[in-house]
Amino acid sequence: MIEETKPTKYAQLLKLGKEALDIIKIPFEVRKAEKDLEKEIINIEQAISEQDLVIQNAKSERPLNLQKILDAIDTKDLKERELKLALILQQELF
């Protein structure tokens, strides 16, 4: 007959230790997530600025490449929507 092993007190203590470590790590994980979101917001803002430059350069080209201008405006609008959503997320989470 095979006996089922019961968790020992030592194993239970180890489990508590892991749970305690997980609890200790929570503030650091939250802070890291907040900083990661801030970094993403900065990257989006930079992409918006770069698209402004692309739009201005495309407007100054001769002959005008309307499709290039429209694509750059579309990309900028997309990044602005991403920025808006990221800022809303930042307010909700942090």
In a domain? residue 28: no
Give the C-alpha distances (Å, rounded to integers) separating 71 from 28, 44, 50, 56, 77: 40, 17, 13, 13, 10
The tokens describing 75, both together, are 């990309």
Residue 77, domain member (yes or no):
yes
Q: Which residue has the higher pLDDT, 13 or 56?
A: 56
What is the phi-psi region of residue 12: left when phi exceeds 0, alpha when psi lies from -120 to 50, beta otherwise? alpha
* Beta carbons of 76 and 55 less than 8 angstroms apart: yes
Rounded CA-CA distance 27/33 in Å is 10
> Which residue's entry shows tokens 């609890």?
23
- Structural domain tally of the chain? 1
77: its two tokens: 């609008």
Q: Over the stretch 24-81, which tens digit does the pLDDT of each residue have?
A: 888 999 999 999 999 999 999 999 999 999 999 999 999 999 999 999 999 999 999 9
Please tell me the predicted confidence (pLDDT) of residue 19: 80
Q: pTM of the predicted model, to two decimals?
A: 0.74
* Residue 3 pLDDT greater than 60, yes or no: no
Task: Note down the domain range covering 74.
Answer: 35-94
87 domain-assigned: yes
